[in-house]
Every structure is written in structure tokens, then in C-alpha cells.
Chains A and B, each alone.
Chain A
Amino acid sequence: MTARRTGRRVADVLIALWLPLLVLTIIWIYTTSVPSPFFPPLGRVFAQFGEVWLGPGLTEHVLPSLQNLALGVIIGIVLGIVLGVILALLPVWELLLNPYLQFFRALPGIILLPLLLMILGTNDTSKVLLIAYGAFWPVLLNTVDGIKAIAPEIRQTARSYRFTRWNIFTRVLLPGAFPQISIGIRLSLSIGLVLMVGSELYGATRGIGFFVLEAKQVFNTAGMWSGVILLGVIGYFLSVGYSALERRLLRWREVAH
């Protein structure tokens, strides 16, 4: 019985891994045997990866990038939740502000970059603000929807038990809306990463995106691909990491159901 179960598990791992390994091998063999300036051998890309990103590039480019991302996303999420709750509790204002919210949500954040650079200069503040702007909208709109979806009886019950405002916020509204807010946070993480890279490609002097662009300009294609791979790795771990966090934060729901 246990042997069969281990067999099943081994099969699952093999099924999950054969395609990535195959793709990797094909790219490896192809790039090594057919030399092309655009697609350097994968071995060289990995060598560059170790040399740049595990060496001086870590403090020079990676950490500033990640710091901007973290600051921007946190500011966006906190503001989005707070203003989203306020807006959901003031339905008249939500109705009146709706066209303006739709406009700013539809405006692609990256287009504001030239303005921010002009007003604030090419520094981290403009980058953080851009990321925060992009992260803000999905959280705001999902918070409003999540809170409006809480059954009114639940809020009335909380009120008749004379919960304080703070308790209603932290114990009723926030947990009740969190599954929906979480969808917004997931979106805002990926938008934040996109804007982080974008802000480093336009008028920047450091950061992973800047390195990739510069590597392309001096025709260091191995360096360029290593940067792209690094960004993929960051994105992947951001997504996997948030999934784990989300599962922990929503564990109470499984018990309740």
C-alpha cells in the first residue's frame, strides 16, 4: 500500500518535471551547438547570473529594486484597504466618485512615469509612488466589492452587540472582505513588479531593469538574459510566497466551513 503511494508520488513528480527539464535541455543544446549573438549558450547565461546577481549586482541593483517594490506595494495596499473600507461605508460617495475611479483604474500606470520624473526627478520617490499608484487601484476596488458583499445582517448583529467601530473594522469587515481583498493584493503584486521594471527602464540609473537595458545596449546578451531570468525568479517566488501567506491568513475559513 505504502509502496504504491510512493510510486504514485514519484510519478507525480516526474509528470510535473519532464516538460520543464525537456525545455531546458533543448534550449541548452540548441544555444550551445548553434552559436548566435542573440541567444548565447545557456551555460554562459548561468555563469553571468552567478557572477552578476550573486556578486556586486545584488547590493547595487537587486536590493534597491526590491526595496522600491516593497515600499510601493505596501503603501498601495494599506491605502487601498483603508480608503476602500471608507468608500464602502459611504455608498453615496462611492456612487458619485465611480466615474473618476473608473478613469484612474483604466489609466495604465506606466504612462504617468514621465510626469513623475518631471515633478519629482529621477529618484526612488518617483518609482515608489508609481508602484504605489499601480498597487492601489486593484486593492481599493476589491475592498469595496468585498465589504459590500458582506451580508448586512452580520454588520447589524455586530452593531447590536455594541461592537466599537474599531472592533467592527478589525473583526467583522476586514476578515469578511479579506478573500476578495486578497484577489486585489495578488493583482497589485504583479502590477507592482511590472511598474518596478518599467520605472527602471525609463530614465533610471540603477535597478535590475536598468541593468537589463544597459546590457542590451552594450550587446552583453548573456547579461541581458540573466537579468530576465532573475526577474522571472523574483516574480515566481513573489507569487508562490503570497499563495503560502494567503493560505495561512485564510486558514480560519476552512475550519468554519
Chain B
Amino acid sequence: MTTNIALPQPGEVPTGRRRRAQDYLQHHRGARIVAQLALFLVFLAIYSMLIAFSPSLGRFMPTVPALLVDGFGTILVDPGLWEGVGMTLYATVLGLAISLVLGSVVGVLLSIHRNAYLSAQFVIDFMRTIPPLALIPVGLLLLGPTLRMEVTLIVVTAVWPVLLQVHFGVVNIDPKLLETARSFRIPLWRRMLFIMAPAVGPSFGTALRLSATLCLLLAVGTELIAGGSGLGYLVGWYQQAFRIPETYATIIIVGLLGVALNSFIMFGERRLLGWHRRETKAARS
């Protein structure tokens, strides 16, 4: 099927040009960043015009200079912000770490026997569908607006995706791999380290991504609703004080924190699981 005859295709011309622009942007990092920044300026211009022409919106949305000067200018030099960033990040990472360990252990235990998972299935499914923020009143009642309450809520929520992904990762290991290892008399710890761990790796990566998003949502949500400290609390506080530029600036910082967390995890995943992606890609093509 390699003998394609190149016929002139009038309809194809725009697609071709578009394809060329796409290839160019994909392969030239500098050009891509310049184009993205230009787009950012366009967004800012549209936003400024929106505010300028609609005073009712302007009451609740800061102008760009106000956002930069009153917003970022005020909060970036405020030690309270950095304390908040530290608190939110600490709760998120601590909750994530506990969830990962706990979820992995229980997930592996549940995969020992088919009946173990079947027995636990209903409890797991019910617990994991309780919307996590609903537990905030319960947490407030039992533990008060403390870091311990925040981390507990995060773990109660984020442990389920880890547990399920690890469990299915273990169950779906190719039995031939395990049998081969056993007939070569490879000791258990080496089997776990060199066969089970890499096989579960990809689904563990998925769990990590899902849980990290949940953890940040929970941390910020708890702080906003329950009060206490952290970035969520700061946003609520600025909004109630009607300090609009500061509110927006803090929200943007929350978003940037989320982006940083995601990119960090994606970077780690690429380093540790790059072999998996290459392998699946090779298998597909």
C-alpha cells in the first residue's frame, strides 16, 4: 500500500497549512512560548475591555494594574501568605503520603485472595462515594479546626483511589511473569521489588495523579469552610474583607500551586515510568 498516487486535493490545502503550523509550534519551543504569551496578552486585553465597558462587573473584578499592585504587590510581601502556602502544602503532602502508604498496603492485602476483595467491596464502594466535604462538619465536631482534622479528612478521601488502583495493578499482573519467577526460585523480596513493583507502577502513577488533585481540593476546601489557617482560609478572609485584588491574587496562587504539584508528579512519573510509555507506544505502532 505504499504506491499512493498524489492527486491534487483542493480541499486539503488549509489542512496542510494548519498541519505545518502545528508541526512548527510543536518543534520550536521558543516560538510556542512567544505565541502563548501573545495569547495571554490578548486575554488580558479582552478582560480589561470587559471591565471597562461593564462597571457592574468592574465592582467585583480588579483591573489588571490593581491586580498586580494591590493584589500581588500586597500579598507577596505578606508573611501570612507564605505561611498559608506552607500550611496548605504541608497538609496536602502529608495527607497524600499517608494515603499512598495506607492504600498500597491495604490494596496489596486485598489482592491475596479473590474473596478478600469481594468481602470488602461494598464497604469500599460506600466509603469512597461519600462526598468528602460532607465530613467537614463531622471532623469539626470531633477534632476542631486543626491540622490533624485536615489531614484526617484528606486521608479518608484520597486513600480510596490508591487502594483500588494498587489492588487492580496487582491482580492484573501477568501470571506467567510470577510463575516464571517462581520456577527460577527468585526469592520473594526480589520478586516484589523487580516484578511486582514495576508491574504495579503505571496504575500507581494514575492513583498518584488522581489522589494529588483530590488532596489539594480537600486541603483548600477544608481551610475555606472550617477556617483555621492556610490558603483556603486566606481567600475566604480576603473576600469577606472585600479586598478584591488580594482575593484574586490568592486564588491565582492556589492555581499555580496546583500546576506545580501536577508538574512535579508528571515529571516523576516520566522519570520512573518512562520505560512503560516507550513500551506501550512501541507495541501500538
Contacts and interface: CB of A to CB of B under 8 A. Distances in A.
- Asked if A and B are interacting partners, one says yes
Contact of B138 (A12, A97, A112, A224): A224
Interface string A87-113: 000011001111110111011111111
Interface residues of A, number: 58
Given A103-B255, A110-B224, A216-B141, A201 B133 contact: yes
A18 B43 CA distance: 58
A110 B221 CA distance: 6
B121 interface: yes
A142 interface: no
B255 A114 contact: no
Nearest to A99: B36
Given A111-B224, A115-B251, A197-B131, A212 B18 contact: no
A202 interface: yes
Contacts of A10: none
Contacts of B231: 111
B147 interface: no
B105 interface: no
Given A104-B255, A196-B131, A19 B122 contact: yes
Nearest to B115: A15
A38 to B, nearest CB: 6
Interface string B120-133: 11110111011111
B251 A20 contact: no
A235 B259 CA distance: 28
Interface string A192-218: 011011100110000011001101100
B134 interface: yes
Nearest to A238: B129
A89 B94 CA distance: 41
B169 interface: no
A34 interface: no
Given A107-B254, A201-B225, A17 B122 contact: yes
Contact of B122 (A20, A212, A231): A20
Contacts of A213: 136-137
B138 to A, nearest CB: 6
A198 B22 contact: no
Contacts of B134: 197, 208-209, 212, 227-228, 231-232
Contacts of B125: 236, 239
Interface in B30-68: 32, 35-36, 39-40, 43, 57, 60-61
Given A216-B137, A238-B129, A114 B239 contact: yes
Contacts, number: 163
Contacts of B118: 12, 15-16
Interface string B205-233: 00000000100110011001100000110
A19 to B, nearest CB: 4
A198 B122 contact: no
Given A111-B232, A202-B224, A235 B129 contact: yes
B203 interface: no
Contacts of A115: 60, 239, 247-248, 251
Contacts of A110: 133, 217, 220-221, 224, 232
Interface in B230-272: 231-232, 235-236, 239-240, 244, 247-248, 251, 254-256, 258-259, 261-262
Given A99-B36, A108-B221, A198 B255 contact: no
Interface residues of B, number: 61
A188 interface: no
A119 B136 contact: no
B106 interface: no
A108 B25 contact: no
Nearest to B120: A19
B233 to A, nearest CB: 11
A115 B138 CA distance: 26
A190 interface: yes
Given A194-B133, A213-B137, A111 B235 contact: yes
Contacts of A244: none
A102 B248 CA distance: 18
Interface string B1-44: 00000000000000000100110011000001001100110010
18 contacts: A15-B119, A16-B119, A38-B141, A92-B22, A99-B36, A100-B39, A102-B259, A102-B262, A106-B255, A106-B259, A112-B251, A113-B224, A114-B224, A114-B235, A115-B247, A119-B57, A221-B141, A238-B129
Interface of A: 12, 15-20, 23, 38, 91-92, 95-100, 102-104, 106-115, 117-119, 190, 193-194, 196-198, 201-202, 208-209, 212-213, 215-216, 221, 224-225, 227-228, 231-232, 235-236, 238-239
Given A20-B123, A114-B240, A198-B221, 7 more contacts: A15-B115, A103-B255, A108-B258, A111-B220, A190-B131, A193-B131, A201-B133
